[in-house]
A = this chain, B = another copy of it.
């Protein structure tokens, strides 16, 4: 389901304020209620020792996609913080870019349980490379 223009604007402003996302070349590609998709190229400066995408890149976009999926369900004056996130790495991050799809498993007033799947895209084919599960904490800003 579509989100309101105000919430979308808030999320896009938050994303733009994360300088790490710019460093990694990440873009926020899709948003709906309880769902967010972020992708990033595997830049020359984002590699691990074998030349594949670094797990920190996988974590960065997986965690952020889960966070914005949560934020899409929050009132306008709320922010969310990751309290814990576990990443299971399924396969090496080989290819041109990574795509993270985050979703809310269980919304809550005090805690939101989230999940993200991260895929490596090589020659147009997606491969599932990581599963993240975690907890977001809503914080009221007013």
| A18 with B84: CB separation less than 8 A | no
Residue A87 CB within 8 A of the other chain: yes
Given contacts A83-B111, A135-B88, A135-B135, contact A56 B63 (CB under 8 A): yes
| A interface size (C-beta, 8 A) | 47
The complex is assembled from copies of this chain, and their number is 4
In the complex, what residues of B have CB within 8 A of residue A47's CB? Answer: 17-20
Contacts of A44 in B (CB 8 A): 19
* Complex: A111 Cα to B89 Cα, angstroms: 11
A135 to B85, CA, bound (A): 11
* A118 at interface, CB cutoff 8 A: no
Once the chains bind, are B133 and A113 in contact (CB under 8 Å)?
Answer: no
Contacts of A101 in B (CB 8 A): none
23 pairs across A/B with beta carbons < 8 Å?
A14-B49, A18-B54, A19-B47, A19-B54, A20-B45, A20-B47, A49-B79, A50-B79, A56-B63, A59-B59, A83-B88, A83-B89, A83-B111, A84-B84, A84-B86, A84-B89, A84-B135, A86-B87, A90-B113, A105-B131, A131-B133, A133-B133, A135-B135
- Mark A residues whose CB is within 8 Å of B: 14-15, 17-20, 22-24, 44-51, 54-57, 59-60, 63, 79, 81-91, 105-106, 110-111, 113, 115, 128, 131, 133, 135, 137
